[in-house]
């Protein structure tokens, strides 16, 4: 969230205060480029959410730059958020939840855990949750963009982002932990980054 969403927003606000709309666009792009370069220099994997965010940021920046419109700069991600929300909804209905794929960027899971029916159902339900959150976020952001000044909008959007996505992350994590505890399973995270989470606990035949 900090690298792919809140960072570019904060950079945009600083750039807007210093040099107007075009300065804000350049500042947000510079933030994204620095984050990508930092990860490359440290030989770290670039999460899919950060990579996709950087590509979308470059695209919307080019469009807003040519149109000289800060409003257009923020309309695009709101529409994009709504489309991603629809994609989460479709993936859940198709029983191929996108949440299961994105989860590996934050907590690699072993094949034993991924194949567990209860966990597969969990990712479907979480995809529905994130579809609702993203559609709600897009609606609120568009409403704020049309009713507030740009600087006020940036602050309000930051608050909305923290509340919506923070609540989603907390709910997803607590839901997952509760699911495992109900079945007597504990997750022990590996010490080394990139290693899959290990399971300890008894599995009954129904699992």
pLDDT values of the chain reduced to their tens digit, one per residue, 207 residues: 666 667 777 787 788 778 777 787 888 888 878 878 888 888 877 766 667 777 877 887 888 787 777 778 778 878 888 998 999 999 989 888 888 777 766 666 777 766 778 888 888 999 999 999 999 999 998 999 888 887 788 788 878 888 998 899 899 888 888 887 887 777 665 545 555 544 444 444 344
> Quick one: 102 and 187 in the same domain?
yes
Please say whether the beta carbons of 52 and 63 come within 8 A: no
E strands, the chain, in order: 185-188, 198-201
Helix axis angle for 98-106 and 117-147, nearest 10°, is 90
113 and 155 both lie in a single domain: yes
Domain with 99, as residue range(s), is: 69-207
25 with 78, same domain?
no
How many residues are listed for the chain in this entry?
A: 207
Over 79-93, what HEC string results?
Answer: HHHHHHHHHHHHHHH
C-beta separation of 99 from 122 below 8 A: no
Residues 142 and 87 in one domain: yes
Angle at 84 between CA 80 and CA 88, to 5 degrees: 170
Q: State whether 10 and 29 are in the same domain.
A: yes
pTM: 0.67
Residue 113 to residue 179: CA distance in whole angstroms: 12
Indicate if 177 and 116 belong to the same structural domain.
yes
Q: Are residues 42 and 141 in the same domain?
A: no
Q: Compute the CA torsion angle 139, 50, 172, 99 (nearest 10 deg).
A: 90
Q: How far apart are CA 144 and CA 102, in angstroms?
A: 29
**CB-count burial class (<10 Å; 0-12, 13-18, 19+) for 38:** exposed
Which of 68, 93, 108 is at the close of a domain?
Answer: 68
Cα angle for residues 131, 135, 141 (degrees, 5° grid): 145
């Amino acid at each position: 969230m900090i690298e792919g969403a809140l960072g570019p927003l904060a950079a945009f606000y600083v750039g807007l205060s210093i040099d107007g709309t075009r300065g804000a666009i350049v500042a947000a792009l510079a933030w994204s480029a620095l984050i990508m370069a930092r990860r490359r220099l440290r030989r770290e994997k670039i999460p899919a959410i950060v990579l996709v965010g950087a590509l979308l940021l470059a695209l919307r920046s080019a469009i807003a730059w040519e149109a000289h419109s800060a409003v257009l700069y923020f309309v695009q991600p709101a529409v994009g958020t709504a489309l991603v929300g629809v994609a989460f909804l479709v993936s859940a209905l198709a029983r191929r939840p996108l949440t299961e794929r994105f989860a590996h960027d934050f907590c690699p899971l072993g094949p034993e855990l991924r194949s567990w029916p209860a966990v597969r159902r969990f990712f479907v339900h979480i995809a529905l949750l994130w579809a609702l959150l993203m559609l709600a976020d897009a609606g609120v952001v568009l409403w704020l963009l049309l009713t507030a000044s740009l600087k006020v909008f940036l602050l309000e959007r930051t608050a909305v982002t923290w509340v919506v996505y923070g609540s989603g992350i907390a709910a997803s994590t607590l839901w997952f932990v509760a699911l495992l505890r109900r079945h007597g399973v504990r997750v022990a995270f590996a010490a080394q980054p990139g290693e899959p989470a290990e399971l300890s606990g008894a599995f009954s035949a129904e699992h």
